[in-house]
Amino acid sequence: MGKVLIFGHQNPDTDAIGAAIAYANLQKELGIDAEAVALGTPNEETQFALEHFGLTAPRVVEKIAAETNEVMLVDHNEFQQSVSDIEDLTILAVVDHHRIANFQTANPLYYRAEPVGCTSTIVLKLYKENNIAVPAKIAGIMLSAIISDTLLFKSPTCTQEDIDAANELAEIARVDLNSYGLDLLKAGTNLSTKSEAELLDLDAKSFPMADKTVRIAQVNTVDLDEVFARQDALRDAMLDENVKNGYDLFLLLVTNVLNSDSELLVAGEPREMVTEAFKVKLENDRAFLPGVVSRKKQIVPQLTEAFEK
């Protein structure tokens, strides 16, 4: 076995980066020549976590086949969310907490998927199963991933396993979980300096639904009005992305991390699927979704069901 590259999904969030770093460190401890890489530059929240714990951001790659043909995936499995030449690579392992879709391999592989709130929760289990201690810095970035993915345990995707893992990792990393968690989430809500295109690309994933391609982006904020003051420009940018990339429907989920409510901005067609999925009426291309914070659990399944009817 040669060099193995480990990475999360495109437009990486804190779990995509953190799980890659942690899993690569575990593989090194197990004797594998592994390196964590990223399919995009870390966002402000992730960069805050990396700097806090004295870690270097993984190098960004666009293609991998020219460098190695062996990879491991974390925090994703769907090929459209992965590196562009994924079909040319040998996938040795996947560690994930999402649905399994659009995924196939020619060879057997190690696949670990669990219905928890964060991939890093699963990675912690793997450290324990292999009797390998988690270094403090690695514990810090894993803790950050859990805080981010569960919105400090407010997301419906959060499980008791995530909470227990976060408390354990906070002790190893020597931080106060709640105060650090709030600082981390607030670090990711500085949106004023970003263009509309940058906002839409911060945390966005594409999903095939029936014969359509649905793009769903999510941004976190402490002030919904601040984001929607740019509504016209955001909608125009979403429509432009639809044309350039062949998306049929583009949804922007804007989530208030303080009160766990979201508002949805919709561009493209068939928008009646949004009405069907969430039992809401779109007004000025918007719909308020109280208590909705999770794309994975509260947006994608409902939309998929609406498209399949």
pLDDT at 257 over 90: no
Q: What is the DSSP string of 221-265?
A: ES-HHHHHTTHHHHHHHHHHHHHHHT-SEEEEEEEETTTTEEEEE
pLDDT at 229 over 70: yes
- Confirm if 7 and 37 have CB atoms less than 8 A apart: yes
CA pair distance 193, 25, nearest whole angstrom: 34
Burial class (CB in 10 A: 0-12, 13-18, 19+), 174: exposed
pLDDT at 1 over 80: no
Domain 194-306 in CATH 3.10.310.20? The answer is yes
Mean pLDDT, residues 133-158 taken together: 96
For the sheet with 4-7, list strands across it: 59-60, 34-38, 4-7, 70-74, 90-96, 110-113
Tens of pLDDT, residue by residue over 155-195, are 999 999 999 999 999 999 999 999 999 999 988 888 888 89
CA pair distance 143, 45, nearest whole angstrom: 13
User: DSSP strand E in 52-174: where?
Assistant: 59-60, 70-74, 90-96, 110-113
- Confirm if 269 and 248 have CB atoms less than 8 A apart: yes
Phi/psi of residue 297, nearest 5 degrees? -105, -25
Name the 3-class secondary structure at 110.
strand
Binding residues: 9, 13, 15, 75, 97, 149
Name the residue ranges covered by the structural domains of the chain: 2-187, 194-306
Would you place residue 259 in the very low, low, confident or very high pLDDT band (cuts 50, 70, 90)? confident
Phi/psi of residue 18, nearest 5 degrees? -65, -45
| Average pLDDT score over the chain | 95
CA pair distance 52, 45, nearest whole angstrom: 11
- CA 158, distance to chain mean position in Å, is 14
- Residue from 145, 148, 104, 102 nearest 124 by CA: 145
pLDDT value for 188? 85
Mean pLDDT, residues 245-255 taken together: 97
Tens of pLDDT, residue by residue over 102-134, are 999 999 999 999 999 999 999 999 999 999 999
Binding residues for Mn(2+): 9, 13, 15, 75, 97, 149
pLDDT value for 222? 85
- Which of the two residues, 257 and 178, has the higher pLDDT score? 178
Tell me the CA distances in angstroms from 88 to 24, 83, 84, one per residue in order. Answer: 21, 10, 9
- Whole-prediction pTM: 0.82
Superfamily of chain region 2-187: inorganic pyrophosphatase (n-terminal core) (3.90.1640.10)
